Amino acid sequence: MLSLASSVRLIRCATTLKNSGRDFANKRVGMRTFVGGSAGFRAPIHDETSRRHFSGSRARKVRAESSRDQGESPRASVQQMTVRELESLMSDPDQIENTQFIDVREEWEHSTSSLPHFKLCPSSLLPQWGPVVVQELDSEVRTVVLCHHGIRSQYASEFLVSRGFENVFNIVGGIDAYSFINPSVPRY
């Protein structure tokens, strides 16, 4: 819920947009609805803000469409994997063979709770292991990245994509979420 001051600022922004003389009706510009307190208005979404604010599959679609419009091939992005999908992946020996598993939690976290097949590469040591990761791992093989709640692994996954990795998966909810579907994995 926005404060009264925030609502007033939003209304001023809406008034400024309305009075700017731009004719958005004749352009193919998306609209986003802003609501604050009892105030609400619609404002145009420009390309940069739409890319910044959309997440998940919508963000990938916007980036891919933008790349295609500019004649580029779609850039790889981090894909999200649920813990159920991870469990299914880890139960299939053929898929385990064709997957690289990285755990970016710290050593004490790994000793408290861990999953098989995951190689420990603590995110605090990224400056040390980051430069050599390209030589040690295959950038074309599926890479699954895990942490406690899925945030550090998202950053590590984005790092890998920036280094040319094409098939990178972040585990949504991390090992904490995995412990709910597999009670043998301790929570901490």
User: Which residues are part of the catalytic machinery?
Assistant: 147
**What's the one-letter identity of residue 112?**
T
* C-alpha torsion sign, points 68, 70, 73, 74: negative
Instruction: List CB contacts of 87: < 8 A, sequence separation 6 or more.
Output: 178, 181, 182
Locus of tokens 């940069």: 48
- A 10 A CB-CB count for 156 gives 27
DSSP 41-105: EEEEE-HHHHHHH--HHHHHHHHHHHHHHTTPPPPP-PEEE-HHHHHHHHT-HHHHHTEEEEE-S
Dist. CA 8–CA 14, nearest whole Å: 10
Instruction: List CB contacts of 159: < 8 A, sequence separation 6 or more.
Output: 126, 130
